[in-house]
Structure 1
């Protein structure tokens, strides 16, 4: 049995200064890095998810309701979609991108990013390549992105191929993508723990999100 740490959406747009900032996001990125430095030996694998929007339809809105629609964020290939610079990518083995052409909250909707299109080692903000960053249906870039998605590997397939059975989830946001990812992991048959101290949420009161995860079988510690 292998154990994996899953880092959810610790991206610039979800941290202070981003277009959809969650309070405490930048500090959390550093805390996850410190946790990894101290505990990486407890995990066989470390992976991360990214919102990676190309043309997500009504997920973007000029008048968002902050439930089903949101301000533009994490547009593919932009600085906002990059990992926050406080998150050290040293131990991250694979990146899974979600939401290219529709809303996607769970990391289990993500697809494996190409190895030549992810951060490695020390990097400067704004340095991520912009491949696959088409912005409207029917463009050559969007067509290429659809073709690439057909051949991409999903998060569940990757975890199974690495014999992962136990997942620990951290990241942003507790009450949205962290919750959706943890519950989907349970449905997929994994043992799942969410480290609440290494997540931040949008709502002031996260008790309902925590209760929903616990009711679904997630161990929230």
Structure 2
């Protein structure tokens, strides 16, 4: 494999993404905490990063911020424009969600099952009200703007530590995990998603489709008991 400097990205293990009270809960979302804790605390990484959705109340993805009848969470889509000046004509459809992970609220906090004392860096994302940001590396249009959408230029941090490979687990597999992994490839890293360490909004066939998308983009989907993880044993 040549040079190999691994980093761990734990994606959005937050109260609003977990039962029983999460506004956008992934079924059994808390159940992957032991796997993530083993990765965080018992494996050898150059840096261990946890991401958090950290939305303003007026975020574009919240259904309540749009007029009826096109404001049904999980069902409705709106047209979202690129927030970069001069690129406003670039648009994308955006699915609407319930209000979730509002900055500073209990729903945005990490679940207590995660051993956060093993985390080296927390990165807050999705802070620009006008654009969705599933990936920690870039918004939905591929923009990287550390002053609006995200509070840390994670690519620069990882490059500064000579990271070559990014291992990813967390929630949800078919949204933030997938987009982060694909953008890690675009940022110049090798990317590995740990199958047992992620769960999807749409389980079953949703995960199978997600795996196909990941592999098409060059992301490796691996198992927690596989050789790639075993070699990271501290």
TM score, norm. by length of structure 1: 0.77
Summarize the Cα distance change of 1:108–1:56 in structure 2 as closer, same or farther, 3 Å threshold.
farther
Where do 5+ consecutive residues of structure 1 fail to align? Answer: 111-145
Summarize the Cα distance change of 1:89–1:191 in structure 2 as closer, same or farther, 3 Å threshold.
same
- Could you say which residue in structure 2 is the equivalent of 1:125? none
Q: Provide the C-alpha distance between the structure 1 equivalents of 2:167 and 2:173, rounded to a whole number of angstroms.
A: 13
Output the aligned Cα RMSD. Answer: 2.2
Where do 5+ consecutive residues of structure 2 fail to align? Answer: 65-71, 76-93, 140-144, 223-234
Bigger share in helix: 1
Q: Provide the C-alpha distance between the structure 2 equivalents of 1:215 and 1:199, rounded to a whole number of angstroms.
A: 19
- Could you say which residue in structure 1 is the equivalent of 2:104? 77
8 Å CA contact 2:133–2:149 kept in 1: the answer is no
Summarize the Cα distance change of 1:153–1:181 in structure 2 as closer, same or farther, 3 Å threshold.
same
Number of residue pairs matched? 184
- Could you say which residue in structure 1 is the equivalent of 2:42? 38
Summarize the Cα distance change of 1:55–1:196 in structure 2 as closer, same or farther, 3 Å threshold.
same
Structure 1 position 104 matched with structure 2 position 133: yes
Please give the residue correspondences for 1:12-91 in structure 2 after superposition, counting only pairs within 5 Å: 12-16=15-19, 17-39=21-43, 42-62=44-64, 63-65=72-74, 68-91=95-118
Structure 1 position 171 matched with structure 2 position 180: no
SS at match of 1:164: coil
8 Å CA contact 1:15–1:25 kept in 2: the answer is yes
8 Å CA contact 1:109–1:154 kept in 2: the answer is no
Q: Provide the C-alpha distance between the structure 2 equivalents of 1:21 and 1:190, rounded to a whole number of angstroms.
A: 30
Q: Provide the C-alpha distance between the structure 2 equivalents of 1:33 and 1:14, rounded to a whole number of angstroms.
A: 17
Summarize the Cα distance change of 1:96–1:202 in structure 2 as closer, same or farther, 3 Å threshold.
same
Q: Provide the C-alpha distance between the structure 2 equivalents of 1:84 and 1:24, rounded to a whole number of angstroms.
A: 13
Q: Provide the C-alpha distance between the structure 1 equivalents of 2:62 and 2:41, rounded to a whole number of angstroms.
A: 36
Summarize the Cα distance change of 1:151–1:218 in structure 2 as closer, same or farther, 3 Å threshold.
closer
Q: Provide the C-alpha distance between the structure 1 equivalents of 2:208 and 2:29, rounded to a whole number of angstroms.
A: 19
SS at match of 1:171: strand
Large movers: runs of 4+ above 6 Å? none
SS at match of 2:63: coil
